[in-house]
Each structure stands twice: as structure tokens, then as C-alpha cells.
Chains A and B, each alone.
Chain A
Amino acid sequence: MSTTESLQAELATFEQHKALLLKDEGKFVVIHDQEVAGVWGTYEDALRAGYQKYGLQSFLVKQI
């Protein structure tokens, strides 16, 4: 799967979970493929968590 395809899959996962995630509006979610890794208060914290969990694999960091 290309990086673009991975990102599209992760954006689709975000849309699937959006209603639930909105309770943390303004925070940052990390998503890898169909897995929601968690929510963090800052972009940098979310980014760090994403790299620690998924290394150099594709993952999405998105503000909710």
C-alpha cells in the first residue's frame, strides 16, 4: 500500500470514529490503518507517540 493509500485509509478510519472522537475536540488523534492509537493534548505529544508505536510506518496525526 502506498503512503497516499495508507493516509486515505487512516482518514477513512478517522471519519468512522469521528462522532466518538469529538468528545476530545481540539486534541490530536493518532491513527494507523484501522487502529485508533489514542488522543493527546498537543501535536508534538501525538507525533512522538505515533513514532514510538509505529516507527517509520504510515500513521495519521489529526486535530479533532
Chain B
Amino acid sequence: MPILTAAIAADGPVIPILIGVSGPRAQALKDAGLAIPTPVLVRGLIDTGASCTAVDPQVIADLGLEPRGTISIVTPSTGTGSHTCNQYDVALVFLMHPGGVHVKSLTLPVIESHLDGQGIRAFIGRDALADGIMIYNSQSGTLSLAF
């Protein structure tokens, strides 16, 4: 079982993650004779408080994605109400380190959220961690994630 180990940074458990178009979309692009956008390597913050994964709109734009659905979300800023977000299908690849061995690849819908100002470009939610085993060791300052 490959294990990703990362230092817990000042801004939390941040790991490298590769975001690309989903496999089915890549095939549809290929069938249409179109180029498949290059996956984008980003810093992603693991957020177990988030039920779904979110990525920065610039990543969505770089990959040329179109909304494939919507979802209602509740956050501290939405109060007692909810907010409807577009969903985009992507492939997420967890890496041992930037440019390193693939630990896990998965296809899932993500929402867009302006994150770049926080120095990250993705929130990695529980949907992406669903099959994982994670150890957050604040004493050693390391995060380990295995699938």
C-alpha cells in the first residue's frame, strides 16, 4: 500500500495533488480530435470538515471544464441557508511528492471556490479521502495518507 507522507505546514496539512480532466472527458476530447489539457499540479489542503472537494476557478478554466451538475452546500458563511455550487468532473491524483509516484487516482465531482489567496488551489474533502487511512501526527509534524 503506497503511503504519502507530508510535513504539516504552517497553513495545515497541505499536499501536492494533480488535477486533470476526468478519464471519460479525456476520451471524449480524443474522440472529437481535440487536445487533452495538461493536468495541473496544485497545493491542496486536506479538509476533513468539507464533504466535497473544491478547486480554484483558475484550475477549472485551465482545464476547460464545463459544469456537469450542481450541489447545495452549507458553510459557516451561509448561516442557516445553503448555497448552490456548480460541479465539475475531474481526475485527482495523489502523489508521493511533486512529480513523484502516484498513490491514488480517482474521478469525482468537485466544486469551485476562490482559494488562490490562501496559497492553495484545492480543498481536499472527505469524498476524495473516502477510501483512505490518514494519520495526522502533530507531535512529529507529519501527515500520512494511504489508500
Seen from chain A, the residues whose Cβ lies within 8 Å of a Cβ on chain B are 3-4, 7, 11, 43-44, 47-48, 50-52, 55-56, 58-62
Contact = CB atoms under 8 A, between A and B. Distances in A.
A62 B89 CA distance: 11
Contact of B24 (A4, A11, A44, A62): A44
B84 to A, nearest CB: 10
22 contacts: A3-B67, A7-B69, A43-B107, A43-B108, A44-B24, A44-B107, A47-B22, A47-B89, A51-B24, A51-B28, A52-B24, A52-B28, A55-B28, A55-B32, A56-B32, A56-B34, A58-B66, A59-B68, A60-B69, A61-B109, A62-B69, A62-B70
A47 to B, nearest CB: 5
Q: Is the interface of B mostly helix, strand, loop or mixed?
A: mixed
B131 interface: no
| Range for the number of chain B residues in contact with chain A | 20 to 34
A52 B69 CA distance: 17
A51 B28 CA distance: 6
- Pick from A11, A51, A58, A59 the residue with the most CB of B within 10 Å: A51
B106 to A, nearest CB: 8
B70 A56 contact: no
A62 B25 CA distance: 16
B11 interface: no
Contacts of B29: 56
Interface string B32-47: 1010000000000000
B107 A56 contact: no
Contact of B27 (A11, A43, A51): A51
B91 to A, nearest CB: 10
Contacts of B24: 44, 47-48, 50-52
